[in-house]
Every structure is written in C-alpha cells, then in structure tokens.
Structure 1
Amino acid sequence: MTTLIDGSVLEGGGQILRNSISLAALLGKPISIHKVRNGRKPPGLKNQHRTGIELAAEIASARLTGATNGSTEVEFAPGRITPGNYTADPVTAGAATLLLQISLPLLLFTPSATPSTLTLKGGTNATSAPQIDYIQRVFLPFATRHFGLKVDVDVRRRGYFPRGGGEVHVTVFPGADGARLTSASVMERGTVTRIGGIAHIAGLPGHLGRTMAEGATRRLAQRGFAPDAAVPVPVEIESRREKNENTVGAGSGIVLWAELAGGGVIGGSAVGRKGADAVTVGEEAANELINGLEADGCVDEWLQDQIIIFMALAEGTSEVRCGKDGLTLHTRTAIWVAEQLTDAKFDVTVEDSGHTIIRCTGIGYTAPTDSDLSNK
C-alpha cells in the first residue's frame, strides 16, 4: 500500500520531501508526495530537490516517477539499499548539504558493513541551507557523540552562489552486524567550554577573512565570551583563504560553534554578500551564535530539526533540551513526517523554565539482512 504524504503541511518545503524519501527508502514503503513544496514560490521541484531524490532512488534501487523540474507530485517505490560510490550534481549552486541530508540516513543502514562514498557537487556555502562547515563542526560532532554515526567529510572545492561548482567527498561507515543508532540524552547545558570558528574566503583579498573573524571576536567579547572575561571562554576563529584551484567563483562566509559542557553544541553563521562589509558579516554570525546561547538550550534551531530523523530511528528513548524560543516550524515538520512514516512516538513538553523538551521513543531500526530481503 502506498503512503500518501501532503507536501503542503506546516513548513511546506523541501524538508518534507527529503525526510519522507529517506524514511520510505529505509522502511521499504512506497510513498506518493503531492503538493510538493506548496509553501514556496514557485512550488514544485527545483534542480536541487530533483537531484536529491534521484540520488536516493539510485541508492535504494527505487522506482521514481514525477521527478522533473516544476513537478508537484512524486512517487517513490524503494527496493534494496546498496552500498557503493555515488555522485550527485545539481549543475547549479544547489546545496550539497541538502543532498547529504537525504542520502546519509540510507547509507548508514546498508545490509553490509561496507563503507560508501558520496561525491556531492553544487553549493557548499549559501544562505538557504546549512554551510558545509556547519555540518562538519556542529551537526556531525553532535550526531557522532550522541547517536553513534561515523561519517567523514572532505571539502575538495568550495562553491559559492550563483556559480556553485563545489565538491564534497563523504565517506559513510554503516554499523556492523545490524547495529542500531544509540539514543541521545542531552538535557544539561553546562558551561560554554570553547568557541571555535572558521572565516573562509575565495577569490577575494585575504584580509577580508581576518576582518570577518575580528568582527565576530569583538562582538562575542562584548557579550562576555572571551578568554579574559569574568568567566573565561577560549575563542579561536580561523581565517582561511582558499586556493584559486579549490574554488569556483568568489565568495566568503563564516561559521561559529560553541561547545557545551553537557554535550550540546550551538552554531552561528553568515555568508558574505554584495554590499555587506566583512565586519558586519562577522558580527551577524556572532549575533546568531549569541542568540542561540541566550535561548539556553543544548542545540540550536537548525540542529534541532536535523536530529529528528535520527531520534526516530534510534533504539530507546532520546531526549533533548531545546531553548526557550520553542520549536521551529522545520522541527515540527520533521516530527510530523517521522510520525507519518514510522512507529516512533514523540512527546514535546514545555517546562516551567520555558525550555522545550523533545522526547522520542525510537523504532530501533536495523538494516535488513540478505535473508530478510530474499523473503520479501
């Protein structure tokens, strides 16, 4: 029986598509998604989304219909997930990180323990998706520590809007012998133990990276995050100018992250753009990080929605303390998709302190064995 997914629910964007396709592939459930990206103008698939579901279809040996640009209805009937070496290229500045979001859960659960590789092309640093540095410094350290993921990411070439052309190599190590994801319990924030960062530029004068880093450092110090503050916090923001052969086009950006004693991590980022001076870009990233820290949760607003699918797949009960700003629309959408396609049970509560707690009893998903597949 085909499961129907309404792509206009809540956030109404590409996240519904990515999470639905990933879960359908893992669970062997044919799905039909209608009103795809109904909350966007124009609605329907763009290059980036089409490339992502085509990648998932290749990994999962799926029958895919409706995967054309502008399409508002997609049908996906998965088969066997196979480890291998896969390449995806939207031929635009479409985000490589969003291609990773749809494909990573599949390759974590291949029938054998054979590692897989992804060569993901497109944009690496844009405003409409997590920067690749955020994935490397915030998402993956958190997911590795708390869910047991093992993933390596190597940025071979940066690609900036509007030309794209970046290239990211990812190695995914699935669990051996049907290993399940571990449940996460991240309820104590603790102190800020360190703030790290990277200011990256390409095709531009080197001093702009240093200026971005200095702008972020000064802003953080104004809010009490500095080595010489009353409560000392080490702050280390690297400035990196990429070699011309390692980039396509010119661009810049900065990603910051705060490591918390309780095992959480908060990120902040900004992307350079025409008309914005480097100091302002650095301050924007710092302000984003400060806002995340002052919300007083263990994860930031972007990390909270990215971990929902892993909470649903993990074994046992996961619990994560979010900030006082409540759940984002993206997070509520991710929970809705997980509840449509899995038996995971989510419970969202708001404490007297104002913090939102997400608890999830996961399904303890394991990769099907060869005998399971032969008996289908």
Structure 2
Amino acid sequence: MVAPPIIFSSHVDFRMRLVLATLSGRTIKIDRIRSDDMEPGLKDYEVSFLRLLEAITNGSVIEISYTGTTVLYKPGLIVNGTITHNCPLSRAIGYFLEPVALLAPFGKAALNLTLKGITSNGIDLGVDTIRTALFPIFTKFGIMRQELRVVKRGAPPLGGGEVNIFLPHIVLQPSTLHAAVKTPAVTKLRGVAFSTRVSPASVNRVIDGARSVLSATNCETFIFSDVARGEESGKSPGFGVSLVAETRSGWCYTAESIGGAGEVPEDVGARAARMLLEEVANGGMVCRSQLKTVIVLMVLGKEDIGRILLGEGVIDASIVRLLRDIKAIWGTEVRLKENDTFGADEEELDGPTEYVMSVKGIGFVNASKKIA
C-alpha cells in the first residue's frame, strides 16, 4: 500500500521541505502557497529550484496546480552528474546551492554543477560564505573535498555571475557528531572583500571599515581582496564582504554584508564586522547560517546519540519549524537541555545561555550510492 503524502502548508521552508522529502523518499504535498497574496502561487525562483531538483534526481514527479498554490512532489533517486543551471535574478546562487549541497553527498555519482546568476545579494548566503563557512561543517560529518570556484562575480540587479561547484564525496551516511564541550575561543579572523564594476579602492575601504571594528578583538585578521575585472565582473556594479571567525578546533562563525544604493564602503565593512561579533557572542559551536545543515546531517547519522552545543541566540522560529518538519517525515525528536557541564563558580556570569542539543540518528543509508 502506498503511503499517503505528507501535507505541509505555506511557502515557508519550501526548499528544506523538498530536501527532507528527497532524502527520506516520502511524497509530500505543499498547499496554500501564498493563497491570500495579490500574486498567489509559486515565485519564479521556487519553480527554478524545482527544475534544478528535477535535474539532479531521476524519477522525480512534480505536479503544480493550475494556480500554482499547490505542489505535489514524489522524489526519485539522487543521481547528480554534470549540470548547468541558470538562476533567476530574483534570488542569489546561494539560494540554490545551499540545499543542493545537502543532497549531493547522498547521490549516485559526483556532482559537477555550474550555476549562473547573482553571486551575493545580502539575502541568501553568498558563495564566499558557503565556501569558507558551510563546507567546513560538512567535514565534521565525514564529507570531504567540496570545491567551489567563482568564475565570474555577479552583483544585483543584473547578475552575470558564474560559479562552478564540484562535490565528489559520496557517503552512505554522515558521521555522528560529538561537540558538546565548552564553546571554543576564536583564534583568527578571515574574510573576502569583493567588488564588481566599481573603483578598486572600494575594496580597500570595505576592509578598513571591517578592521576598524575587529581591531578591538586582538585576533589575527586577514581579509583578502577580490577585484573582478573585465569579463569576470558581471553586469552590475557592487561591492561587499564575507567574514569568518575561526576556532582552533575547526568551527567557524560567519557574517556578510553587501553594499546598498548610495552606501559608503566603510559602513558595509563595519556592519559585517559587527554582525560577525554578534554571531560569536551567541556562543555555541555554530552560527545561524549553519545550524539547519547541522541538524539535518545529525538526524541522518547512524543510530547513535549525537550532541552539539548551541547558543540561545541561534534558536529561532525557523529552527522550531524545521524540527517539526523532521518529526513529521521521520518521526524523530531533538532534545535540548541547558548546558551545566561547568559548575557555577566556573561559569562566566555575563556569558550567553547555551544548550546541548541531543539527536538520535535515524540510521539513514544512501540507497543511490554505487556498490563497489
């Protein structure tokens, strides 16, 4: 007997629900997609993501209602391969790359993906942030050798960027994570400041703005400059910076900022630096942009208890929704307990409240992986 589809409502968490369905093999139905809006139904970037999902899987069935307010998705096997995809200019490349990076390690073959569009827009994760902060998270789960190369940078609104992603490591299941010790201290600060079709001096001014805030930390700071020229500079002027705070144990916190209309480069750098310090101040092992990826990979692990330390500031409504979706699809729950590893006399009174998140893996096995 075929199991009935799991029903979700609203466009919220659209990508993650499709990712969870693909990994679990469960059919899902998403209804009431912007049904009360003046322009109901799917947006162009959501349809584009469905097409990309169709390209990296084999046997997937996608049914969209006439009004676009209901989607029925029957997932197939993840096959990966060599794919080129043109992203709409309404969202950045990171909107498409972030969920695909979660699917690629559980496919049949390596994924060689070329995405064209906007490389950073200040809403979705920028390509530099994905390379320097999200890919290291995968290594904690035994997923290695991710490569991302920025061929062309593309700023909004016209884009023109191109990114090549090579994800060759196929695994049966992620490793179990045990990271519930004390929050590690940040040892160095790294970053990439970039510009397209503006004066190269703008990049130096962005770096100066970031350094003016980060200098108080007394950490080793090195921010690369990437000035796109000629064909590599896309179709629109723009500048921005992606910053990463690294710890000795390999964990990192990240923040990024993109220059808006009429904005001074120094302000963009200073804003990114303050956002980075806020992420570090939240405590725990991961920042907000990494947590969803961590939770999904922990759930997919073998039937063992994995633990990770989280700061109170990273747990928000979107994380609660993700945990509810995971329970609806796999029936597993996550336990959060306030961290009491250290005694009251050792605890810093002004430190952030931290929680230990315990996750029992579902024992996921990659059915798509070729058997040697």
Q: Is TM-score (shorter-chain normalized) higher than 0.5?
A: yes
Match of 2:83 in 1: 86
Match of 1:183 in 2: 176
Question: 8 Å contact 2:323–2:333 — kept in the other structure?
Answer: no
Matched, 1:329 2:317: yes
* Deviant stretches of 4+, over 6 Å: 38-41
Seq. identity, %:
22
The CA deviation at 1:45 is 2.0
Question: 8 Å contact 1:52–1:88 — kept in the other structure?
Answer: no
Matched, 1:297 2:284: yes
CA deviation vs aligned residue, 1:223-242 (integer Å, no higher than 9, x gap): x312xxxxxx2100112211
Out of 54, 70, 73, which is 1:73 matched to? 70
Question: 8 Å contact 2:6–2:328 — kept in the other structure?
Answer: no
- Distance in 1 between residues matched to 2:83 and 2:4, nearest whole Å: 27
Match of 1:229 in 2: none
Matched, 1:34 2:36: no
Matched, 1:268 2:255: yes
Matched letter for residue 179 of structure 2:
V
Question: 8 Å contact 1:108–1:175 — kept in the other structure?
Answer: yes
Matched letter for residue 182 of structure 1:
S
Matched letter for residue 243 of structure 1:
R
Match of 2:121 in 1: 126
TM-score by length of 1: 0.86
CA deviation vs aligned residue, 1:8-43 (integer Å, no higher than 9, x gap): 3xxx62xx2212212222222111111236798856
The CA deviation at 1:147 is 4.4
Number of positions where the alignment pairs a residue of Structure 1 with one of Structure 2: 354
The CA deviation at 1:258 is 0.5
Matched, 1:286 2:273: yes
**CA-atom RMSD, angstroms?**
2.4
- Distance in 2 between residues matched to 1:174 and 1:147, nearest whole Å: 9
Structure 1: runs of 5+ lacking an equivalent: 227-232
The CA deviation at 1:2 is 3.3
Match of 1:63 in 2: 61
Question: 8 Å contact 2:179–2:309 — kept in the other structure?
Answer: yes
Matched letter for residue 224 of structure 2:
E
Match of 2:93 in 1: 96
CA deviation vs aligned residue, 1:44-80 (integer Å, no higher than 9, x gap): 3222111111111232221111188x72211111223
- Distance in 2 between residues matched to 1:319 and 1:67, nearest whole Å: 41
Moved more, 234-243 or 363-372: 363-372
- Distance in 1 between residues matched to 2:355 and 2:36, nearest whole Å: 26
Out of 160, 163, 187, which is 1:165 matched to? 160
Question: Structure 1 residues 64 and 143, CA, compared in 2 at 3 Å: closer, same or farther?
Answer: same
CA deviation vs aligned residue, 1:202-232 (integer Å, no higher than 9, x gap): 10001110111111011111xx312xxxxxx
Structure 2: runs of 5+ lacking an equivalent: 341-351
Matched, 1:138 2:133: yes
Question: 8 Å contact 1:156–1:167 — kept in the other structure?
Answer: yes
Match of 1:338 in 2: 326
The CA deviation at 1:357 is 2.8
The CA deviation at 1:161 is 1.2
- Distance in 2 between residues matched to 1:171 and 1:162, nearest whole Å: 26
Match of 1:364 in 2: 363
Question: Structure 1 residues 257 and 207, CA, compared in 2 at 3 Å: closer, same or farther?
Answer: same
Matched, 1:194 2:188: yes
Match of 1:355 in 2: 354
- Distance in 1 between residues matched to 2:327 and 2:107, nearest whole Å: 23
The CA deviation at 1:126 is 0.8
- Distance in 2 between residues matched to 1:151 and 1:41, nearest whole Å: 41
- Distance in 2 between residues matched to 1:164 and 1:140, nearest whole Å: 24
Matched letter for residue 295 of structure 1:
N
- Distance in 2 between residues matched to 1:44 and 1:74, nearest whole Å: 9
Matched, 1:238 2:237: no
- Distance in 2 between residues matched to 1:349 and 1:43, nearest whole Å: 41
Match of 1:320 in 2: 308
Question: 8 Å contact 2:241–2:257 — kept in the other structure?
Answer: yes
Moved more, 179-188 or 41-50: 41-50
Match of 1:230 in 2: none
The CA deviation at 1:152 is 1.2
CA deviation vs aligned residue, 1:280-329 (integer Å, no higher than 9, x gap): 00000000011111222221122112322212212233322222325022
